[in-house]
Amino acid sequence: MPQYFAMVALGGALGAMARYALSIWLAPLSENLAWGTLAANLLGSFLAGMILAWLQERHMAVEVRLLFQTGLLGALTTFSTFAAETLVLFLQHKPWAGLTQWALNVVGTMIAVFLGFLITRAVLGLQ
């Protein structure tokens, strides 16, 4: 069991460093858009799709899955987890569940960010 935590920690460290590197590397592209975040989300989602495809046909050791899927992709982006879980619903022929999950995550997270922003500004007494 301790080796599982070690694999998640190692993958998480690599994913966090990759996210930071992408943000720094792509920051000069625009002052308005977070290209590093978009790149991390797209890359993480693409890699999550690769892992899902692999797991449908082949075995992957638990430690390897924890390193890449939970650790690396988890730190790189949680959006990849959302995207992979939504794809699984579509692959299971549950399109309404997939669309519902997609809508709730996209709209829900935007609302949550907005509410967190407003509440924090109110608590801090900011205009």
Question: Does the annotation list 70 as a binding residue?
Answer: no
| Four-CA torsion 31, 34, 110, 43, nearest 10 degrees | 170
Question: Does the annotation list 77 as a binding residue?
Answer: yes
Distances 103 to 4, 25, 49, 115, 127 between C-alpha atoms, Å: 33, 31, 20, 18, 31
DSSP state of 72: I
Binding residue numbers? 74, 77
Binding residue numbers for Na(+)? 74, 77
